[in-house]
């Protein structure tokens, strides 16, 4: 089938690449000229493992191209997917790009004679597809449902594994305005083994927020318990999680093999979640509930715990170095919100760095991915030095906070910290090191949940 995708950001391009692997012809519509040029030359505008290779292969097979012309892309396709950004402004979802895309798609459809399905893949609150997208498309196309189809199908991609997540989805949720819309849209998944859930538009929209809020809730719950563990002075939270994870309802036994479900990664303590989804989606669903008159004390607490969790790592540092960090050199290892990405959005590294700076510390940051292709604006005005190596970041440092669990950091030894730092004070915000081997080697080691 011919599919056009409006927006060539993370979701749009990865969706396009994965649909091309099912044999569809994809047109990525993007209003940024540089991105169009990059995509057509097989270069992804963002970093994601495997994306360049998959993109080049799709282009070579003639199955994917990018264009600035929305009209051309829409008219020459059977299905249009909206994959533009839905940022948060003042804790509320900003639909500017969704509205603009809907208007332009509507205008293009006015000139199209055939049945065309429009599917929203951007994360939008319940009701947006029916109450915002639909009237705009109808106003500008002059058509009504039946003459065109309307669906909402959320994405469930995780950064770092997005290509695999998109090519082998665990489920496909299709919210449909009517049966015909859903049946037509589902054709693009012919050949996929994933189960398809057909539902209404509102349910599909809420499914996405629920999936992300559940995982965010597990993280904040784990961090709240870590605070209790810390306060006892007697408990290592990792041992608690070991005891909890082995409940066979959380890790079932199949024959003799213990299955370790991916969800257990979210029942672990650390310095909090970040990224493009959890912070934005939890805030958006909470303010949507407010509008409905529903009190979401749980989701609001999840957000609050996450807001305060990062700076607890600075308190751990102060427990060793004292309250006054003025003039002390502190290294921060890991700036991205998680490993294997260059994404800095909502990374817990920022509140940690701001707290260190406000206390007068001299901060050296390091990250293997965040500034490989040049220093992004979020980092250039931060008031920290960016090191080219872990050695440079740690050299003569009075302390280090390890924020992101990049593989490179997990392999650092106590000897390495001792040899490079003035004072080997290691704050492990992700609990990636073996506590006893670090303390036995003479490192002053502190971690979340200890
Ligand atoms: C997430 C969802 O997993 C994905 O399904 C959805 O489509 C988009 O949002 P992503 O943002 O890529 O994906 O990151 P994920 O790997 O889920 O991690 C999110 C954040 O949680 C990261 O900041 C990570 O460090 C943090 N996290 C994860 C914890 O703080 N503790 C944990 O135990 C696990």
Q: Which CATH architecture has domain 2-199?
A: 3-Layer(aba) Sandwich (3.40)
What letters, b where the CB count within 10 A reaches 16 and e where it falls short, cover 321-356? beeebeebbbbbbbbbbbbbbbbbbbbbbbbbbbbb
Nearest alpha-carbon partner for 402 in 354, 357, 349, 439: 349
Task: Say if strands 148-152 and 172-176 run parallel, antiparallel, or are unpaired.
Answer: antiparallel
What pLDDT, on a 0 to 100 scale, did the predictor assign at position 91? 82
User: Cα–Cα distance between 439 and 35 in angstroms, integer?
Assistant: 49
Q: Which atom of ligand 1 is nearest to the CA of 341?
A: 12
Does residue 449's CB lie within 6 angstroms of at least one atom of ligand 1? no
d(C-alpha 149, C-alpha 170), whole Å: 25
- Exactly one of 28, 151, 271, 277 is catalytic; name it: 277
Ligand 1 contact, 268 CB (< 6 A): yes
Tens digits of pLDDT across the chain (450 residues): 999 999 999 999 999 999 999 999 999 999 999 999 999 999 999 889 999 999 999 999 999 999 999 999 999 999 999 999 998 888 888 999 999 999 999 999 999 999 999 999 999 999 999 999 999 999 999 999 999 999 999 999 999 899 999 999 999 999 999 999 999 999 999 989 999 999 999 999 999 999 999 999 999 999 999 999 999 999 999 999 999 999 999 999 999 999 999 999 999 999 999 999 999 999 999 999 999 999 999 999 999 999 999 999 999 999 999 999 999 999 999 999 999 999 999 999 999 999 999 999 999 999 999 999 899 999 999 999 999 999 999 999 999 999 999 999 999 999 999 999 999 999 999 999 999 999 999 999 999 999
Predicted local confidence at residue 89, as pLDDT? 87
Q: Candidates 158, 250, 265: which one to mutate for ligand 1, based on the most atoms within 8 Å of Cβ?
A: 158
Q: For a ligand 1 pocket test, name from 155, 213, 219, 410 the mutation site with the most ligand atoms within 8 angstroms of its C-beta.
A: 219
Does ligand 1 lie within 6 Å of residue 310's CB atom? no
Alpha-carbon separation of residue 403 from 234, 308, 318, 429 (angstroms): 24, 15, 16, 5
Instruction: Indicate the pTM of the whole model.
Output: 0.95
| CA nearest ligand 1 atom 14, residue | 158
Contact (Cβ atoms closer than 8 angstroms) between residue 427 and residue 317: yes
Can you tell me the distance from the alpha carbon of 244 to that of 238, in angstroms, rounded to the nearest whole number?
Answer: 10
Q: Quick one: 295 exposed, middle or buried, by C-beta within 10 A (0-12, 13-18, 19+)?
A: exposed
Taking the C-alpha atoms of residue 248 and residue 258, their distance in angstroms, rounded to an integer, is 8
Task: Give the fold, CATH level 3, of 213-447.
Answer: Rossmann fold (3.40.50)
Q: Is 406 in the pocket of ligand 1 (CB under 6 A)?
A: no
Same topology between domain 2-199 and domain 213-447: yes
**How many CA atoms within 13 Å lie on the side-chain side of 87?**
7
Q: What is the rounded CA–CA span in Å between residue 19 and residue 37?
A: 21
- Stated as kind and residue range, the H or E segment containing 4 is strand 2-6
The domains of the chain are located at 2-199, 213-447
Which bin fits 341, alpha (ψ -120 to 50), beta or left (φ > 0)? beta
Collect contacts of 357-362 with beta carbons under 8 A, ≥24 apart: 357/383, 357/384, 359/314, 359/323, 359/324, 359/325, 359/326, 360/324, 360/325, 360/326, 360/327, 360/328, 361/325, 361/326, 361/327, 361/328, 361/329, 361/330, 362/327, 362/328, 362/329, 362/330
Backbone angles phi, psi at 236, to 5 degrees: -100, 115
Measured from the Cβ of residue 304, the count of other Cβ atoms closer than 10 Å reads: 11
Per-residue model confidence (pLDDT) at position 298? 98
For residue 157 and ligand 1, the question of a CB distance below 6 A is answered with: yes
Q: What per-residue confidence (pLDDT) applies to 90?
A: 85
What pLDDT does 88 receive? 85
């Amino acid at each position: 089938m011919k599919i056009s995708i409006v927006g060539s950001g993370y979701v749009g391009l990865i969706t396009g690449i994965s649909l091309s692997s099912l044999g569809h012809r994809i047109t990525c519509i993007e209003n940024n000229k540089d991105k169009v040029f990059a995509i057509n030359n097989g270069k992804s505008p963002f970093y994601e493992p495997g994306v360049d290779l998959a993109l080049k292969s799709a282009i070579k097979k003639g199955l994917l191209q990018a264009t600035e012309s929305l009209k051309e892309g829409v008219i020459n396709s059977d299905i249009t997917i909206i994959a533009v950004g839905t940022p948060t402004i003042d804790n509320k979802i900003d639909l500017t790009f969704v509205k603009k895309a809907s208007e332009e798609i509507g205008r293009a459809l006015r000139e199209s004679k055939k049945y065309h399905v429009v599917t929203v893949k951007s994360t939008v609150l319940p009701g947006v597809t029916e109450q915002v997208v639909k009237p705009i498309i109808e106003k500008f196309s002059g058509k009504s449902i039946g003459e065109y189809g309307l669906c909402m199908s959320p994405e469930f991609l995780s950064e770092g594994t997005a290509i695999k997540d998109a090519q082998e989805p665990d489920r496909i949720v299709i919210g449909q305005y009517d049966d015909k819309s859903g049946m037509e849209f589902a054709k693009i998944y012919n050949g996929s083994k994933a189960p398809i859930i057909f539902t209404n538009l509102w349910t599909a929209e809420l499914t996405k927020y629920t999936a992300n809020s559940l995982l965010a809730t597990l993280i904040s719950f784990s961090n709240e318990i870590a605070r209790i563990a810390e306060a006892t002075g007697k408990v290592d939270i990792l041992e608690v999680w070991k005891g909890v994870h082995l409940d066979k309802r959380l890790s079932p036994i199949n024959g003799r093999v213990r299955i370790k479900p991916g969800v257990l990664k979210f029942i672990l303590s650390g310095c909090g979640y970040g990224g493009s989804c959890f912070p934005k989606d939890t805030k958006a669903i909470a303010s949507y509930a407010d509008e409905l008159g529903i009190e979401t004390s749980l989701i609001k607490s999840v957000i609050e715990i996450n807001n305060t969790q990062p700076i607890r790592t600075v308190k751990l540092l102060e427990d060793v170095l004292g309250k006054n960090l003025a003039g002390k050199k502190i290294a921060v290892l890991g700036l991205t919100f998680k490993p294997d990405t260059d994404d800095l959005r909502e990374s817990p590294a920022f509140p940690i760095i701001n707290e260190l700076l406000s206390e007068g510390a001299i901060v050296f940051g390091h990250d293997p991915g965040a500034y490989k292709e040049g220093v992004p604006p979020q980092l250039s005005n931060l008031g920290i030095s960016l090191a080219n190596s872990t050695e440079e970041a740690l050299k003569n440092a009075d302390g280090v906070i390890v924020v992101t669990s990049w593989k490179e950091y997990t392999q650092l030894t106590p000897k390495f910290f001792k040899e490079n730092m003035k004072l080997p004070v290691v704050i492990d915000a992700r609990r990636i090191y073996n506590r006893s081997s670090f303390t036995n080697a003479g490192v002053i080691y502190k971690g979340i949940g200890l």
